[in-house]
Amino acid sequence: MAILVTGGAGYIGSHTVLYLNGLGEEVIVLDSLKKGHREAVRNAAFYQGELKDGDLLNEIFTTHQIDAVIHFAADSLVGESVEQPLQYYENNVIGTYHLVKKMVEHQVKKIVFSSTAAVYGNPVNVPIKEEDPTVPTNPYGETKLAIEKMLKWADDAYGLKSVCLRYFNAAGADLEGRIGEDHTPESHLIPIILQIALGQREQVSIFGNDYPTPDGSCVRDYIHVMDLADAHYLALKRLRAKEESSTYNLGNGTGYSVKEVIKACLKVTGENIKAVSAPRRAGDPAILVASSEKAKKELGWIPQYHELEQIVAHAWKWHQNNPSGYNAETIIKNI
Ligand SMILES: NC(=O)c1ccc[n+]([C@@H]2O[C@H](COP(=O)([O-])OP(=O)(O)OC[C@H]3O[C@@H](n4cnc5c(N)ncnc54)[C@H](O)[C@@H]3O)[C@@H](O)[C@H]2O)c1
Ligand SMILES: O=c1ccn([C@@H]2O[C@H](COP(=O)(O)OP(=O)(O)O[C@H]3O[C@H](CO)[C@@H](O)[C@H](O)[C@H]3O)[C@@H](O)[C@H]2O)c(=O)[nH]1
């Protein structure tokens, strides 16, 4: 049986596809390439298209024997979602509605869904547990929460079993340096800082210095993208064995402020990083740190990369070897 990976040409999706390939799974990728890169997908059948393209989904579900979907495809930027909320409802909620409708039609009954720490909003407890209140502070988190609820009702009505993985901040890259993070424009903190180290940017703005955190900047829990890939495999394994819906946090359990991330990048790269204070970014909660005890207990998930410097070092290796990301020069170099 094959696994359909939506958004499999994106950052986390492509690392998960590579990981599943390594375990001998047959993978089919659907990606619009709005944000992803064809070159990031290796050893998988590839379909370029949209979640809302019902004819394409019919073709995929009838051509391949698909028993499960891993659903990454989404818009996923906190700040952008505050400015373009309808885009997020359309692509995330309506896009997933179309996918789920086709899964039900084609009797595909398992889905692993990319949810997010953004469903919690400003946490009442730190580290955050799955049963804590979900009060998103931005439309992105709202759309992911709406999808989680859509999947719950789809389970009740149609027996569609889901695992919702609420990941915290993905970072790092494939250990062998084959693929990595390449967003245009880049908005994520670690790649932005690494672009400064490469001499491609002058400075990083620290969004907010008056948060109720030890140094006033936002605190996040950075989790290695390959640890996330492993969690997707374990979630799928559980769905195949137990056919039971569930929700898990995925993080390291340690929070780093924006200023601490800058220091870690300075240490790894040996380059000076110019940082300037800037206003808060709309929609950002002050602190997001995971309790992942449930995933460890029920999925048997054992994250391998706990140290922020180690995670940054893997990202740095990719950025150093691929300073322009997946451009033609990069592809030639990597082959
Ligand atoms: N990066 C993080 O730190 C993080 C944390 C928590 C959750 N997530 C979630 O994980 C998933 C992947 O995140 P990422 O950082 O790899 O993002 P990404 O933008 O790199 O990947 C998303 C991929 O989905 C594709 N896509 C988007 N809309 C599509 C559509 N309608 N039809 C087909 N393809 C479409 C894009 O082209 C892209 O390749 C997202 O759902 C995101 O919300 C990410
Ligand atoms: O130039 C920058 C970029 C970011 N930040 C801050 O750095 C932190 C991390 O930001 P970023 O890397 O943009 O990630 P988040 O906004 O935390 O969101 C990521 O992590 C979420 C889970 O926590 C996911 O759901 C999102 O999809 C993913 O983009 C935040 O506090 C930002 O305010 C800055 O100060 N300056």
Query: Mutation test of ligand 1: which of 33, 84, 113, 114 has the most ligand atoms closer than 8 Å to its C-beta?
Result: 114
Q: Indicate the pairing of strand 256-257 with strand 219-220.
A: antiparallel
Task: State whether the beta carbon of 225 lies less than 6 angstroms from ligand 1.
Answer: no
Cα–Cα distance measured from residue 250 to residue 293, given in angstroms and rounded to the nearest whole number: 9
Task: State whether the beta carbon of 100 lies less than 6 angstroms from ligand 2.
Answer: no
Cα–Cα distance measured from residue 29 to residue 222, given in angstroms and rounded to the nearest whole number: 26
Task: State whether the beta carbon of 234 lies less than 6 angstroms from ligand 2.
Answer: no
Active site residue 140: yes
Cα–Cα distance measured from residue 41 to residue 270, given in angstroms and rounded to the nearest whole number: 32
The pLDDT assigned to 328 comes to: 52
Count CB-CB contacts under 10 A for residue 329. Answer: 12
The pLDDT assigned to 332 comes to: 37
* Helix, strand, coil fractions of the chain, as percent rounded to 5: 40, 20, 40
The pLDDT assigned to 43 comes to: 86
Q: What is the pLDDT of residues 236-259, one digit of tens each?
A: 999 999 989 999 999 999 999 999
Separation of CA 188 and ligand 2 centre (Å): 6
In the predicted structure, residue 333 carries a pLDDT above the cut 80: no
Band of residue 172 on the pLDDT scale cut at 50, 70, 90: very high
Average pLDDT (179-189) is: 97
Cα–Cα distance measured from residue 160 to residue 229, given in angstroms and rounded to the nearest whole number: 22
Nearest to 3 by CA among 50, 72, 90: 72
Task: State whether the beta carbon of 218 lies less than 6 angstroms from ligand 2.
Answer: yes
DSSP string, 293-309: HHHHHHH----S---HH
Q: What is the pLDDT of residues 185-222, one digit of tens each?
A: 999 999 999 999 999 999 999 999 999 999 999 999 99
Give percent of the chain above pLDDT 70: 98
**What atom of ligand 2 comes closest to residue 207's alpha carbon?**
35
Band of residue 334 on the pLDDT scale cut at 50, 70, 90: very low
In the predicted structure, residue 132 carries a pLDDT above the cut 50: yes
Residue ranges of domains in the chain, CATH in brackets? 2-168+223-250 (3.40.50.720), 189-220+253-334 (3.90.25.10)
Q: Specify the residue with its C-alpha closest to ligand 2, atom 4.
A: 189
Q: Half-sphere exposure of residue 236, counting CA atoms within 13 Å on the CB side?
A: 25
